Amino acid sequence: MQEAIFTGAATAIITPFRDGAIDFESFGRIIDWQIESGISALVVCGTSGEASTLVDDEHIATIEYAVRRAARRVPVIAGTGSNDTAHAIRLSRAACEVGADALLLVTPYYNKTSQRGLVELYTRIGDAVDRPIILYNVPSRTGMAIAPATYAALADHPRIVGIKEASGNISAIAETAALVGDRLTLYSGNDDQITPILALGGVGVISVLSNVLPRETNEICRLFAEGRVREAAELQLRLMPLVKALFSDVNPIPVKEAMAMMGWCTNELRGPLVNMEPAAREVLRDRLVEAGVELAE
């Protein structure tokens, strides 16, 4: 059986900016609050962290800072995927050198490949690093999906240990779970599918919601693990209006807006991302208040 890097909720943490640069002071405060709130792991430089806008030096500096600030309190999982195999290997090795506990590797985007190409890509990266790897399937962003048979083909690689499933395709996820068994750890990559994926054998979620509600997101997973399935489902359903608001615009536009409302950072995005429309912003504010989130403004 594959040992899980974490169980429960891992936050796909935002990267705060100020005047065009990474705001490490705010980043550190957010990391401390997340850990104090009981989050199980941190995922840095992922989609929510606007990784595709970071130059390599910023990318690695962000990972290194998170590793130092977390100080072994929780695992730090570094997003190091790329649509260029050589670039992904360089980023992955650099993340390992600065102390990342594991790697999150999205499928290639725009420069899409075949399923055979995915096997080669992930095998080459796995052979080049010494940390565990979580494969990240999010076809709505990349234009391609990891097929269940491809997961099965990669499941015996010693470095490939987990799956972040954000395809939304429950049937394909069920087929994957049946094929890979306990050779790969399954995580939900969608906040509206935490309990369904836990029911298929998943052990947690890599979450956007937990940026604003870390304790509650982790609680969904804890309740399910304790066999309190109805309570887990009820909590997820209660938070669904907020989840919907957090995905009412392109991620991470709403979650960064929410974090700014809470006083954690400025609402600064890197282009081409732009701030929310005023009407959508007010809906987000209302959903945060309804969920019991304390706002600073």
Per DSSP, the three-state class of 41 is: strand
Percent of the chain with pLDDT over 70: 99
pLDDT of residue 297: 66
C-alpha 297/C-alpha 284 separation (Å) is 13
Q: pLDDT tens, 81-104? A: 999 999 999 999 999 999 999 999
Averaged pLDDT, 139-150: 96
Averaged pLDDT, 288-292: 97
Position 240 confidence tier, pLDDT thresholds 50, 70, 90: very high
pLDDT at residue 26 above 70?
yes
- Is there a contact between 192 and 240 (Cβ–Cβ < 8 Å)? yes
pLDDT at residue 1 above 90?
no
Position 218 confidence tier, pLDDT thresholds 50, 70, 90: very high
Averaged pLDDT, 17-37: 98
Residue of 65, 122, 164, 256 marked catalytic: 164
Q: What is the CATH number of domain 8-233?
A: 3.20.20.70
Averaged pLDDT, 122-150: 97
pLDDT of residue 238: 97
Percent of the chain with pLDDT over 90: 99
C-alpha 248/C-alpha 38 separation (Å) is 27
Position 3 confidence tier, pLDDT thresholds 50, 70, 90: confident
**263 to each of 16, 30, 98, 201, 275, how far by Cα in Å?**
12, 10, 29, 37, 16
The overall average pLDDT reported for the chain is: 97
C-alpha 126/C-alpha 200 separation (Å) is 26
Position 137 confidence tier, pLDDT thresholds 50, 70, 90: very high
Averaged pLDDT, 152-178: 97
Averaged pLDDT, 45-67: 97
Per DSSP, the three-state class of 93 is: helix
Domain-wise residue ranges, the chain:
8-233
Residue of 65, 122, 136, 151 marked catalytic: 136
Does the pTM exceed 0.95?
yes
- Is there a contact between 235 and 220 (Cβ–Cβ < 8 Å)? yes
Told to judge if 164 belongs to the known catalytic residues of this protein, a careful annotator would answer yes
Averaged pLDDT, 18-32: 98
pLDDT at residue 253 above 90?
yes
Position 159 confidence tier, pLDDT thresholds 50, 70, 90: very high
pLDDT of residue 292: 95
pLDDT at residue 213 above 90?
yes
Q: pLDDT tens, 267-276? A: 999 999 999 9
Told to judge if 65 belongs to the known catalytic residues of this protein, a careful annotator would answer no
- Tell which residue, 130, 128, 111, 107, has the closest CA to residue 119: 107
